[in-house]
A = this chain, B = another copy of it.
Amino acid sequence: MSALFERVAFLGLGHIGSSLCHAIRRGRIASHISGYAQSAKTRETAKRIGLVDSIHETASEAVSNADLVILCVPVGACGAVAAEMASSLKPGAILTDVGSVKAAIVRDVAPHLPKGVEFIPGHPIAGTEQSGPESGFAELFHNRWCILTPLPDSDPDAVSRLEKFWQACGSNVELMTPEHHDLVLAITSHLPHLIAYNTVATAADLEEVTNSEVIKYSAGGFRDFTRIAASDPTMWRDVFLNNREAVLEMLGRFSEDLSALQRAIRWGDGEALFNLFTRAREVRRSIIAAGQETAAPNFGRDQGQR
């Protein structure tokens, strides 16, 4: 079987970029992987661990002759990287990205692109709290969804090729508009991250409870929040700055609901609490039924690893 793409270029070699490199190698999805990273340290690491076939000091060099170019830098950096390398893109090349917001990426990247380049934004709904070129693993995208948000004038053949790419990485692919993507992700990802960051910060500031107590007794639920809140700060800053309207909308609803819950606690309304908690549990069951989670005890964590 010949490779799906001759030459794939990565701009950014963090957690998602490096995981994709591993997935491409495992699936023999491309004949050559070229890579660029802004930091010399990341480039050195990528070279040392053999992440890519060629490593380049500029984005322009990395994308030269590539059939598929994947932007894997934080959302806020995509525009500048696109501006730098756009003129080096091969005619007919497919350009995509993996950013957690889509409308802002279209706004920042599309204006720089020459005619003949197919820009199809994308977002794999996968990741851990890890970051950096050594954190990637090929299985990250297995059985996960990847959302592609083609533009009105996107070539259907190019979209179909990109779909095949993600399927070869183990993902299921769904198409939607950039705007709808940003609304869906605001609730399924951006709000949970914001809330987790906020809870951890609130806990760290308490005077009555020491930080060492918070850490010691974190297994009661807090620990799971810190895991989410350990994600890359630059990436998440850019997400909130670039999906502001949708995040503020979800945050407003969250705060209203929380006020109602607070009132139920203050007035001892056990029935309201019980009904809300029961409803939340049903959502969990649906997620397990949809195959997006394990039902194994202890959160499915390997006992030995703790």
Contact = CB atoms under 8 A, between A and B. Distances in A.
Contact of A226 (B248, B283, B305): B283
Copies in the complex: 2
7 contacts: A174-B216, A188-B221, A197-B261, A202-B257, A214-B283, A230-B280, A240-B273
Given A142-B303, A300-B306, A202 B187 contact: yes
Contacts of A228: 221, 224
A15 B214 CA distance: 24
- Chain A interface helix/strand/loop/mixed: helix
Interface in A120-137: 125-130, 135, 137
A184 B189 CA distance: 28
Contact of A230 (B190, B191, B284, B302): B284
Given A216-B145, A221-B192, A226-B284, A198 B302 contact: no
A107 interface: no
A297 B142 CA distance: 14
Given A188-B220, A198-B258, A241-B273, 7 more contacts: A125-B219, A135-B297, A184-B213, A192-B224, A216-B292, A229-B277, A255-B255
A182 to B, nearest CB: 11
Interface stretch (A5-13, A157-165, A264-272): A264-272
